[in-house]
Amino acid sequence: MEFQFLGTSSGTPSKTRNVSGLALRGPGGGWSLVDCGEGTQHRILDTPLSLHDLRAIFITHLHGDHCYGLPGLLASAGMLNRTAPLALVGPPALRTFIDGVMATSELGLPYPLDYIAVDGLAGTPVLPDLAVDAIALSHRIPSWAYRFTERTVERKLDATRLRAAGIAPGPVWGELQQGLDAVLDDGRVLHAADWLLAPRKARTVIVGGDNDDPSLLLEAARTAEVLIHEATYTEEVLLKVGPAPMHSSALRVARMAQAARLPNLVLTHFSPRYQDGAGPLSMGALEAEARGVYTGSLFLARDFDRYVLGRDGTLAAKYFL
- Which residue in the set 13, 27, 30, 296 belongs to the binding site for a copy of itself (CB under 8 A)? 13
Q: Which stretch binds a copy of itself (CB under 8 A): 71-79, 129-137, 166-174, 234-242?
A: 71-79
Q: Which residues pair with 201 in a beta bridge?
A: none
**DSSP element (H, E) containing 254:** helix 250-259
Name the residue nearer to a copy of itself (CB basis): 46 or 53.
46
- Which residue in the set 50, 53, 85, 100 belongs to the binding site for a copy of itself (CB under 8 A)? 100
Name the residue nearer to a copy of itself (CB basis): 59 or 130.
59
**DSSP element (H, E) containing 306:** strand 306-309
Cβ burial of 66 (10 Å; 0-12, 13-18, 19+) is buried
**DSSP element (H, E) containing 289:** helix 283-291
Check residue 253 for interaction with a copy of itself (CB under 8 A). Answer: no
Name which of 212, 247, 213, 209 is nearest 228 in CA terms: 209
Fill in the per-residue mask, 124 to 163: x = in contact with a copy of itself (CB under 8 A), - = not in contact: ----------------xx----------------------
Name the residue nearer to a copy of itself (CB basis): 289 or 303.
303
Shortest Cβ distance from residue 71 to a copy of itself (Å)?
5
Check residue 41 for interaction with a copy of itself (CB under 8 A). Answer: yes
List all residues 6 or more positions away from 64 whose beta carbon is below 8 Å from its beta carbon: 19, 37, 38
Q: Which stretch binds a copy of itself (CB under 8 A): 62-70, 112-120, 202-210, 225-233?
A: 62-70
Q: Which residues pair with 127 in a beta bridge?
A: none
Check residue 9 for interaction with a copy of itself (CB under 8 A). Answer: no
Check residue 64 for interaction with a copy of itself (CB under 8 A). Answer: yes
Check residue 101 for interaction with a copy of itself (CB under 8 A). Answer: yes
65 in active site: yes
Cα–Cα distances in angstroms (integers) from residue 273 to residues 161, 177, 232, 248, 290, in the given order: 59, 54, 10, 15, 18
Catalytic-labelled residue, pool 35, 46, 53, 65: 65
Positive or negative, the Cα torsion across 79, 85, 86, 92? Answer: positive
Check residue 93 for interaction with a copy of itself (CB under 8 A). Answer: yes
Positive or negative, the Cα torsion across 60, 61, 63, 68? Answer: positive
Check residue 269 for interaction with a copy of itself (CB under 8 A). Answer: no
Q: Which of 300-321 are b and which e, b meaning 16 or more Cβ less than 10 Å from the residue's Cβ?
A: bbbbbbbbebeeeeebebeeee
Shortest Cβ distance from residue 126 to a copy of itself (Å)?
22
Please state, in angstroms and rounded to a whole number, the distance separating the CA atoms of residues 8 and 11. 10
Residues belonging to the active site: 65
The site for a copy of itself (CB under 8 A) is made up of 11-15, 18-19, 37-39, 41-42, 45-46, 62-65, 67-69, 71-72, 75-76, 79-80, 93-94, 96-97, 100-101, 104-107, 140-141
